Amino acid sequence: GPGSARGSEASAGGRFLIIIFIFFFFSSDVEPQRNFVEFQDEDDDFADVWILSERLSGSGGSDSAQRQLHRALRYHTLQDLQLHNTLKELLAAIRTTGKGLSSTARLYLARRLRLKQDFFALVEQQYGVRPKALLGGARDVKEINDWVSQETGGKVQRFLSKPLPRNSAVNTVSAAYFKGKWATRFSQSGALESFQVDGAAPVRVPMMQQDNYPVKMGADSDLSCTIAQIQMQDDVSMFVFLPDDMTANMTLLEESLTAEFVQDLSMTLLPAQVTLTLPTLRFSYSTDLLPLLGDLGLSDWLDNPNMEKISAQPAKLSSVNHKVVMETVPEGNQYPATTSTPSHLTYRVDRPFLYLVRDEASGALLFIGRVVNPKDLRM
C-alpha cells in the first residue's frame, strides 16, 4: 500500500483487493451452482477482500493465464475451485443492510478491442453488472462517477478526478462505503483530545469515550501490542492493535494480520470492561492499484495477460481504480452497564495504531487500516 505518511491506509484501498479483483475478470469458466465452501489459507492477499470483488467474474483469460492467477491467489492449494459462486454467496451475506457496507465494481473496455458479447453476458448473469464500453475522455469520467455514486447511495462521490489513461484498453473500477455502528454506544463524543504523532507535535482530534465499555482484550508479546476487539452491529467487529512503542514497526504488524491469525487471536482474547477512548474515523482513500500487481507475483501476467475470451484483439490492463469511504459513529443499540465506579482498566487509543474490521460469521477481513495522524484524514 501507500506510505505511512498518509493518515490512514486500508486494505480496501491497497494490495489486498487487487489480485482477487483481477481474478474475477480473467479467470476461466463460471461453473454451475455449488454449495458454499469456506476457504482456509495462511495468506491474506485474497482473504481480506472478498467484499470488494463485487459482482465480477467471467471467462476472460487463457488456461495459462488462469494458472498464474490461481498461483498468485494461492487457489492452487484449495480443493474446491467453485470460486465465483462461493464469492457471490459471501458478497450477498456480508452486504446485508445491518452491516453498513455497500460496494460495487465494473469493467470498462475500449470499443476498438472487438469485444466478445458472450463475456459480457456471462459477467452480467453471475454478478448482475454488465461490463461497459468506454465513450472517451470526459464522458467516461462523468459516466463512471455517476454510476459509482448511484451504486453506493451517493456515499462515494467524485470517484475519478481525471480521465482514464489515453489509449486505455481494459480498466477496472471498484468502490466501497462502510459506516460502522457499535453494538454499545459511546455517551461522550466529539471532544478534542490529544493524539501523539511520531516525530511531530501532538494533534487535537475528536474522540469518543465511554466508561465500563464491554470489549475483549489481550496482549501479544511477539508483536509488542495490546489488542481490543470491539463489537459492532450485525456480527461485525473491529480489532484495534495499539503498539506498546509509538515508533514500532507498523508494517511488520500489518503483515502479520492474516485471516488465520485473526481467527486464532479472537479465541484468545478475554472479556473485560474498560474505559475506552477512540478517535472518530471518517476518511476516504483512492488510488490506481495497477502498480501493485507486480509485487503480488503477476509481472509475467501483466506482460502477457492473454485476454482471448474477452477480446478478439490483444489487450492489456490499463488501470485499476479503487476508492473506499469509511466512517464510524458513536451511536449504538445498547447502553453500557451502569455502575457508580468507572472501570479500573483503560484502553486509550491516542497514538498511531492499526485496525481491522471483520465479519464474524465468515471470518472475512473487510478492512485493514493504519492510522498515523487522524487530523490528516479527509473525506
pLDDT in tens, 274-327: 999 999 988 888 888 888 777 777 777 777 777 777 777 888 889 989 998 999
Average pLDDT over residues 54-63: 42
Torsion of CA 81, 85, 86, 90, to 10 degrees: 160
pLDDT category of residue 11 using cuts at 50, 70 and 90? very low
pLDDT, residue 364, reads 83
Residue 80 in grid coordinates = 474446491
pLDDT, residue 333, reads 77
Q: Are 365 and 242 in contact (CB under 8 A)?
A: no
Residue-wise burial string across 114-150, b where 16 or more C-beta atoms lie within 10 A, e elsewhere: ebbeebbebbeebbebebbebeeeeebbeebbebbbe
- At position 265, the amino acid (one-letter code) is L
Residues in Cβ contact with 329 at an 8 Å cutoff, skipping those fewer than 6 apart: 179, 180, 181, 182, 280
Which residue's C-alpha cell is 469520467?
141
Q: Tally Cβ neighbours within 10 Å of residue 211.
A: 18
Give the pLDDT confidence of 42-56 residue by residue, as tens digits.
333 333 333 223 323
pLDDT, residue 268, reads 96
Give this prediction's pTM.
0.79
Domain annotation for the chain: domains and CATH numbers: 8-180+283-326 (3.30.497.10), 183-279+331-376 (2.30.39.10)
